[in-house]
Copies of this chain bind each other. A is one copy, B any other.
């Protein structure tokens, strides 16, 4: 492994890997699921509740933190960990996904992306260098290169241009990151590359070769779970992950549903993030061992069972579907807390079970058993 070896593999079961990753604010076990704390907090939870759920690393969005409260405020407050109270591992995305999503109010050039704030319409420019400066100021343990993620579907030329740009930007990010580290490396950040290429295997191969050659501390697969079918996602993932070095963390960005995570772990993915468990909880749906449960539905008005009868979380031990449904109807904040808590716990429990199954060399059995109970949406 390279100069910044952060990943220690404990064992494997087929291609599924069990390891741990150590960064400045601690160690987290892999495969890991990172709940999303867009602007700092995982919405509707406290750090104490995240810890109770067994969360070991949180992902935040540079784009949002840059706009509010501003990366300088966070730097002044001692960095993301001190600012948010989450004194454990963190990762920030680069903002690339967000600014490219602002299609109508952004302009892309080789230099970077000029965009308007979704808050006040003010104009901003993200260049690879600027994005490194911002993520440096925010101070997460793991930061991501500024990449170009194309929408799905993308024609091959658009996808090829994005691969090219992602590579050019990756080099610029790496240069700036090295400059910043040379000035002051007390913070001990790690930079991950991102492989793009949409659904084109030739482009994925090209992007993986380019990104891997830059020898980042970890490698991510971007541009999946953006609208393609599950079969297509699996096909591209299977193709791409083979090209990523086995001795570095492999991170599948923005994925996903429990069944997607199980699939991706089987190919050797170590890290995941997704807004699904938290966002869906706030709109009336939680994940359970028998599948998604739309707890806001009228059918649960008198249902005294917990959200998930097989769950040991603090919410399932104390509160009923009838109560959760009432709280949702009443727009009670407490309901959003309880639903989010359960879903975050559920995802962490899934990862705990996955890790144990890999250690016991029975991952595929576990996956099969899980899916036999779990009704996908």
Contacts and interface: CB of A to CB of B under 8 A. Distances in A.
B73 A337 contact: no
A364 to B, nearest CB: 37
Interface string A309-329: 000001000111011011101
Given A41-B332, A330-B39, A46 B338 contact: yes
A83 interface: yes
A69 B320 contact: no
B333 A333 contact: yes
Contacts of A333: 43-44, 333, 336-337
Given A69-B326, A83-B320, A302-B77, A40 B332 contact: yes
A82 B69 CA distance: 41
A66 to B, nearest CB: 13
Contacts of A323: 40, 77, 83-85
Contacts of A335: 41
Contacts of A375: none
Contact of A301 (B69, B320, B322): B69
A238 interface: no
B39 A77 contact: no
B314 A39 contact: no
A68 B330 contact: yes
A331 to B, nearest CB: 10
Contacts of A337: 44-46, 333, 337
A376 interface: no
A334 B69 contact: no
A70 B254 CA distance: 41
A47 interface: yes
A326 B39 contact: yes
Contact of A83 (B44, B45, B83, B322): B322
A265 interface: no
A301 to B, nearest CB: 6
B314 A48 contact: yes
A43 B327 CA distance: 10
A42 interface: yes
Interface in A10-41: 39-41
Contacts of A85: 318-319, 323
A302 B74 CA distance: 9
Nearest to A84: B323
A188 interface: no
Interface string A61-96: 000000011000100111000111100000000000
Nearest to A86: B318
A59 to B, nearest CB: 15
Closest 10 CB pairs of A and B: A41-B334, A44-B333, A85-B318, A69-B326, A39-B330, A85-B319, A77-B322, A41-B332, A76-B302, A83-B323
Interface of A: 39-48, 68-69, 73, 76-78, 82-85, 301-302, 304, 314, 318-320, 322-323, 325-327, 329-330, 332-338, 341
14 contacts: A39-B327, A40-B334, A41-B327, A41-B332, A43-B333, A68-B329, A73-B301, A73-B302, A73-B322, A77-B323, A82-B304, A85-B323, A333-B333, A333-B337
Given A40-B323, A68-B330, 18 more contacts: A39-B326, A39-B327, A39-B332, A40-B326, A40-B327, A40-B332, A40-B334, A41-B335, A44-B333, A44-B337, A46-B314, A46-B334, A69-B322, A73-B301, A77-B304, A78-B304, A84-B323, A85-B318
